[in-house]
Amino acid sequence: MADTLKISNFQFGCICFTYLSGFSTLFFNEAKILQQDVWMANVSAIVLSILILWLMKHVQVQYPDKTMTEIYQVLLGKWLGKAAVVGTLLYAVSITVLTLRALSLFYTTAILPHTSPELIMLMLVLTTSYSVYLGLETIVRTVQVMLPLFLISITVICLLMIPNVETNPFLPAFHSRLPEIAYGTLLSYAFPFGKGTLLIFLFHRIGNKKRLMAGTSIGLVLSCAYLLIATYLAIGSLGTNLMKSATFPFFSSIQLVKIGLYLERIEIVIIGIWTVFTLFETIVAHYLFTTIVSELFRIQEPKRFILPFGLLFFAIGTRSYVRPTELELYNTTILPFSTLLPTLILPLILGFLTLFRGQNGNRRLRDDP
């Protein structure tokens, strides 16, 4: 976890796509509400996410030598800035625990019904802790190696799913009311696109900050395209009624794929590849949490705390969202609103303060003789 390490815009774009797309096709909560109009919510959420990240990029450029944790304290004041960062840390904990619970729920439901969810979460925590210990460079390079394999695999399976789609599931459009679309946008922004705001704490690690949004925007747009394609295929293959009742709609639709007369259960192969891909989301979340804590409390050797932080996630995860209904209730009622402060309101405040300070600085320069 070297503080001097710089990554390229392309590498950061790969991280963005991997981090946002890992669990994006798991539940389809907004699709179960909006059905054929779900694309409106997804597009609105990704546009909002791009605007927030662009705003925070502008803030980072004004303070190129500072970390985002330090920028919070510069703009909001020492104690209020620290309190804001602590709030962001609580959000990071909730997202990390949510991903651990979601993955353990998926495995115990789909392929390992007799395995303890706690055992699965412990294995995930140990894996992510070791990965974070290896550092950001290793994480980024591993993502670059695994991402093409995932893209090729998911492209093949999507092509095989197309024959199961008989009609366009996104038509007829504009059947949902405006409040429903707004709520669907909140769901989509909360999970998955809003959590991309945590990536602003890696902005100072990027070499060319002026072109930061190039790779970021590509990663965000591709993650939205992947989600839209998966939603299109899931609704088209299962139908709206079955899709709404399925726990994991995308993987239920993958189960319909058969190659020839003998090759069935192809979803098992996809699950294996998808698991490696989703692990990176948990790894990045764990890394971000460790980085923010070490910057906030000026920890000189953060590697000593990587495993304890992982065990903290595990301890909270064993007591959180124990039942699938609790996880669904949290995703649809609490998460859309609890994410607004760290992912939307605070970035808007920081952007306004940066703009205000910039205008005051320019005014003082004009007034000087």
8 A C-beta contact, residue 35 and residue 177: no
**How confident is the model over 306-350, as pLDDT tens digits?**
999 999 999 999 988 888 888 888 888 999 999 999 999 999 999
How many domains are there within the chain?
Answer: 1
**How confident is the model over 256-279, as pLDDT tens digits?**
877 655 455 566 667 777 777 788
- pTM confidence score: 0.90
- Residue-range definition of the domain harbouring residue 85: 9-344
Which residues of the chain, if any, have pLDDT below 70? Answer: 1-4, 259-269, 358-369
**What pLDDT is attached to residue 266?**
61
**What pLDDT is attached to residue 80?**
95
In angstroms, rounded to a whole number, what is the distance separating the alpha carbons of residues 60 and 133?
Answer: 26
Q: What is the DSSP string of 117-146?
A: HHHHHHHHHHHHHHHHHH-HHHHHHHHHHH
**What pLDDT is attached to residue 366?**
41
Examine residue 367 and state whether it is found in any structural domain, yes or no. no
**What pLDDT is attached to residue 189?**
93
Q: Sort 278 into a burial class: Cβ within 10 Å, 0-12 / 13-18 / 19+.
A: buried
Examine residue 365 and state whether it is found in any structural domain, yes or no. no
Examine residue 2 and state whether it is found in any structural domain, yes or no. no
Give me the phi and psi of 263, to 5 degrees please: -85, 100
For residue 287, give the nearest of 222, 226, 199, 209 by alpha carbon.
199
In angstroms, rounded to a whole number, what is the distance separating the alpha carbons of residues 346 and 355?
Answer: 14
Examine residue 53 and state whether it is found in any structural domain, yes or no. yes
Only one residue has tokens 């949290």, namely 330
**What pLDDT is attached to residue 361?**
45
Q: What is the DSSP string of 173-208?
A: ---S-HHHHHHHHHHHHHTTGGGGGGGGGGGGGBS-
In angstroms, rounded to a whole number, what is the distance separating the alpha carbons of residues 92 and 198?
Answer: 8
Examine residue 60 and state whether it is found in any structural domain, yes or no. yes
Examine residue 151 and state whether it is found in any structural domain, yes or no. yes
**What pLDDT is attached to residue 35?**
87
Examine residue 356 and state whether it is found in any structural domain, yes or no. no
**What pLDDT is attached to residue 368?**
47
Tell me the CATH number at 21.
1.20.1740.10
Examine residue 353 and state whether it is found in any structural domain, yes or no. no
